[in-house]
Structure 1
Amino acid sequence: MRLWLALRTWLTGAPHALGFSIFCAQVALGIVIFAIFQEFVPNNLGASDGFGGYLLALYGGARFLSETPAGAISDRIERKYALLLGFALMVPALALMGAIQQEWAYLGFSALLGISTAFIWPATYAIGADLYPPGERGKVVGFLNVGQLLGFGLGALVGALLVETVPDSLFIIGIVAVGGALMTGQTGVPAYRRELGMVHEERPPLRSVLSKRLVFLSALILSATIGISSLVPAIRPYGDNVLDISFAQLTVFLIPAVVAGGILYVPSGHLSDRIGRTIPLLLGQFLIIAGAMTAAATTNIFLAAAATAVIFSGHVQQVPALNASMMDLAPESYRGTLIGWSVALSGLGLAVGPALGGAVVDAYDAPMAFQVGAMVAGFTAVLTIAYGLVYGYARPAHPDEAEAEGTPAEG
């Protein structure tokens, strides 16, 4: 009861409209990235099992090239408008996928989809950092990622159930979901920066925010993203060749992983606010290693489902910690730029990881791809320990918190 009361109290201040708009957009992304890239493209367009990994690589590469400029744009305008632009760009990407069903054309469409999401995430996280103090940012990231995960999970489930029977309906459902994101963003997300004088403020030079710590954190974000995303191309061949089940059956057995992630996202963010960002990140790597090695070693569907839940739980531990860490280092004047850089690194990881996983699947098999993902997570764990030893394990303090606790201001 006490846990529910605490959760209800916190949810009253959560960014509900922003979270729901992300949920809607993620329904469309779940349909595309999971069902269309991994099942529709190989079966309907005659591509190889590893081709979905190459599509994800182009999607991630486009994000990497676009997200830092997109974040810089969100520093100069209302962040809400950058968010809406990202949603709007998703519509032609989905429409073209439905209209032109050719294997190589999908490479360009996946890049366009990456450009569209490049505007969404810097604006989303910067809004959270603008409107919430440092002591609540991990929880805000967790709340937003609940919407992300549940939306993606619902899209993946709907896609898996319809991709073999009425695949063309998936593109329509995706466009409708993006329309819901647009409407919610327009009506529910505030435009506040001009009123607070943030749009045309003078900014210090960019080099003033660059540091060795930023470089180290960037390496952590890239490595962590490569590790988890390298597992994605292994999912479909793992179900076909190891577990001997259909894509729809495999998706049903992934539901416990999505549920576990949805339950843990907000507590994981709260944990990173209470004990610092580093320990939850390290815990996440250990969970990913354990889950990936278990999946690689088993042919039992129930044990495999439990292993994927452990992998998801590890991912859920690392995401709030990494994103809140970048928020902590980013001053308001460069918040969109640095958060854009952070999610650009995630985009680069989404380019390198699936390409790596797809290549391993094509050259060897799905269990080997799980083992490679576990090795990358092990490398990330070593980096995390080194980061903690150099910079400490506590969350950086912030002047606002000192004032909130009653510390007298100077002057």
Structure 2
Amino acid sequence: MLTTPENEIAAGSRADTGYRRYVLLVLCAIYAVNYIDRQVVAILLESIKAEFGVSDTLLGLLSGPAFALFYTTMGIPIAIAADRSNRVRIVTVCLALFSLTTLMCGLVAQFWQLLVARLLTGVGEAGTGPASQSIISDLYPPGERARAQATYAVGVNLGIVVAFFGGGWIAHHHGWRYAFLAAAVPGFLLALLARLTIREPERSGATAGSQAPTFRECIDVLWELRSYRYIVFGTAMSAFAGFGMAAFVPAFLMRSHGLDAAQIGALFALVVGIGGGVGTYLAGVIADRMSRRDPRWNMYVPMLAALVSLPCWPLFLTSENLAVTIGSVMIPLALSVVFIGPCVATIQTLAPVRMRARAAAIQLLVGNLIGLGLGPQVIGIVSDLLVPIAGRNSLRYALAAGAVASCVSIWSYWMASRRLIVDLNKRPDFAPVTPVSPR
């Protein structure tokens, strides 16, 4: 059974239950706003393409690397600050910043200005994730972290609901610029709320006056944890599939099946937002319950989710029937982010206390460089290359890259599960971890 340091458990129990839940919900809402600002561009791509006359390659650049470049590179220095200073202040400042840059996206006059605004949006969003994950880990003990981190991750699904349903409706009736302007407003309000009502938690497991290790020391420690390396790569592959789908499935449904932005927004809101939110939360609950007997279930859960999705890909990519296409894409879309809760919880448990924000930032760095940076971009490039052969259906075949990435993620989670027990036992503040067989 997984055993943990008494001071970590005490830290989780000391915090008032109602306050812990309140902080978790506010951080979940902040994550939702993060995803509204990040994903609203996907439902707007066809409108942006029509106004500026750009290619799918440039659309892939806008929805992927333009955002990911600064999002990933700024995550590390901000995470270093989060391991050493007030995390709540970092979250609120970054939240206000990326809300401001989202506002700028709706005011641009040329495509290159939109690219620059998306770059700057990545700077602000880089600071909220690692600091928030670290705060949650100090409020919840290891046995409750997968569910807590999964609850936080439901912000992804809530953000997608608003981005696609609200963004699609606004874009259809008022134009894509107003969708950006509306997406910026909630962030300013949440930044003020968090600053006034959330206090910096005590770092669980850290001795008084302890100093955060250097970044080089952090890299050395994490590199020795082979399961951490596999988890990081696995989440990157899951992100490749997820971000690629989120960026181009709406455009594919418009081009190949004639749906409009409002219809696709409603579809994504129901499937990814509501269905995905339930799936993400239940994945955390299942991972918490099963990992009490065997911590490797934190890897088995995302692995099984990807396996369930695999048979749906061929139907989605090849069917000419709209009902079959929508029915087959529902499961991959709904399960696209269930990996976050179990994987983040495992990373936060593997990493020493004063390395948690940086462990999260490194995972986000690799995951977003590969997933967000390459996912939409690779699919966009392949789509353009296939136009002479497939015409308007080029995007149909380019999306197959997501299925390949999903297969690689399954292998990565399996490899991580084989090393996880050994790596947990390397932590000096853990009693030996032994899987408990069912009776």
Shift in Å, 1:345: 1.8
Normalised TM-score (structure 1): 0.86
Aligned to 2:350: 329
Alignment of 1:354 with 2:383, yes or no, is no
Deviations 1:348-391, CA, capped at 9 Å, x for gaps: 12101111111122222122123221112112212222332344
- What RMSD over aligned residues (CA atoms) do the two structures have, in Å? 2.9
Aligned to 2:52: 45
Tell me how far apart the structure 2 counterparts of residues 290 and 66 of structure 1 sit (CA, whole Å).
37
Mean alpha-carbon deviation: is it higher for 200-209 or for 297-306?
Answer: 200-209
1:341 to 352, 362, 367: 362
Alignment of 1:211 with 2:232, yes or no, is no
Aligned length: 392
Tell me how far apart the structure 1 counterparts of residues 380 and 18 of structure 2 sit (CA, whole Å).
39
Aligned to 1:278: 299
Alignment of 1:257 with 2:272, yes or no, is yes
Alignment of 1:70-89 (within 5 A): 70-89=78-97
Mean alpha-carbon deviation: is it higher for 287-296 or for 331-340?
Answer: 287-296
Aligned to 2:239: 225
Shift in Å, 1:247: 2.4
Q: 1:24 to 1:387 in 2, by over 3 A?
A: closer
Tell me how far apart the structure 2 counterparts of residues 368 and 195 of structure 1 sit (CA, whole Å).
48
Q: 1:361 to 1:339 in 2, by over 3 A?
A: same
Percent identity, aligned pairs only? 18
Alignment of 1:17 with 2:26, yes or no, is yes
Unmatched tracts of structure 1, length 5 or more: 1-9, 404-411
Tell me how far apart the structure 1 counterparts of residues 308 and 121 of structure 2 sit (CA, whole Å).
30
Q: 1:212 to 1:333 in 2, by over 3 A?
A: closer
Mean alpha-carbon deviation: is it higher for 308-317 or for 193-202?
Answer: 193-202
Alignment of 1:52-131 (within 5 A): 52-55=59-62, 56-131=64-139
State the AA in 2 paired with 1:356.
V
Unmatched tracts of structure 2, length 5 or more: 1-16, 291-296, 387-393, 433-439
Structure 1 contact 286–314 (Cα < 8 Å) conserved: no
Structure 1 contact 65–344 (Cα < 8 Å) conserved: yes
Shift in Å, 1:302: 2.6
Give the SS at the match of 1:190: coil
Aligned to 2:317: 296
Tell me how far apart the structure 1 counterparts of residues 106 and 317 of structure 2 sit (CA, whole Å).
35
State the AA in 2 paired with 1:354.
P
State the AA in 2 paired with 1:125.
Q
2:182 to 173, 191, 197: 173
Aligned to 2:390: none
State the AA in 1 paired with 2:152.
L
State the AA in 2 paired with 1:351.
G
Shift in Å, 1:282: 0.9
